[in-house]
Amino acid sequence: MQLLVSPSSISEAKHSSAADIIDVKKPSEGSLGANFPWVIREIKSFSHKPVSAAIGDFDFRPGCASLAAYGAACAGADYVKIGLAFEGREQAREVISAVVRAVKEEFPKKYVVIAAYSDYERMHSISPFDMAPVAADCGADFAMVDTGIKDRQSTFAFMDEKTLRSFTETNRDLGLGTALAGSLKFEDIDALKRINPEIIGVRGMVCGGDRNATVREDLIKTALAMIR
């Protein structure tokens, strides 16, 4: 299980080097808010770890999504991550296939991460269980769960351990890795180890509980020690 940490700036990224994956996003622009391509590029220039980049919480806009995905890949992201903030499997298929093609045609070794939301009912968006088979069909690499509305409610408030374990196991059967995020706390780590996704994504946990605070290197090391 790898630890992905989401700094919001270049200076924060320099304090996040202990993490397994450095995730570039802009929390002020949403759950999976996109940061600037020059920020991705600079972080990639000094990071010795893989770099992930969120491209946004998207409505049904396959053209915009594919162009954003291509831009993130060109800027240096090793993992390109999109959130599906809309309903419908066929609409999801169109967006996912466009994003996968945009990244994989030129960068076949880069990873595409498709995120749905644990709070999909209040988001009025596709459920993670409906998203994952489509993601696998379209050639994505990871299916992710995050919270769409950041009001400090955890993914565990909407999907319990049994449900998340089922999601992870189903993804493995589909040939997908699993990434779990969404206001995860230190007290969730034991359950996360039992669920055993490939990646857990955190920000608030390593900011002292407030995702609007600053990433702390000591808390990243604490999280890694607990995971290991």
3-state secondary structure of 90: helix
Identified catalytic residue from 25, 44, 49, 104 = 25
Confidence band for 204, pLDDT divided at 50, 70 and 90:
confident
- Considering only CA atoms, which of 173, 183, 121 is closest in space to residue 152? 183
pLDDT at 27: 86
DSSP 61: -
To the nearest whole percent, how much of the chain has pLDDT over 90? 89
Q: What is the pLDDT of residue 228?
A: 85
What pLDDT sits at residue 213?
Answer: 75
Domain total for the chain?
Answer: 1
Q: Return the pLDDT at 214.
A: 84
Give the residues across from 51 on adjacent strands: 22
DSSP, res 156 = G
Gap between the Cα atoms of 187 and 191, Å rounded = 8
Exposure letters 22-52 (e unless 16+ CB within 10 A, then b):
bbbbbbeebbbbbbebebbebbbeebebbbb
The residues near 162 (Cβ < 8 Å, ≥ 6 apart) are: none
The domain spanning residue 29 has which CATH number?
Answer: 3.20.20.70
Beta bridge partners of 200: 3, 180
> How remote is the C-alpha of 129 from its chain's centroid?
16
Question: Token pair for residue 19?
Answer: 């993490």
Predicted confidence (pLDDT) per residue in 156-181, tens digit: 999 999 999 999 999 999 999 999 99
What does the block give as tokens for 197? 């996704």
Nearest to 97 by CA among 138, 39, 157, 52: 138
- Paired strand residues for 117: 146
Rounded to two decimals, the pTM is 0.95
Instruction: Reply yes or no on whether 26 is catalytic.
Output: no
Active-site entry in 49, 81, 104, 110: 81
pLDDT tens string 14-28: 989 999 999 999 988
94 vs 96: CA distance, rounded Å: 6
Domain, as residue range, for 97:
2-227
- Is residue 193 part of the annotated active site? The answer reads no
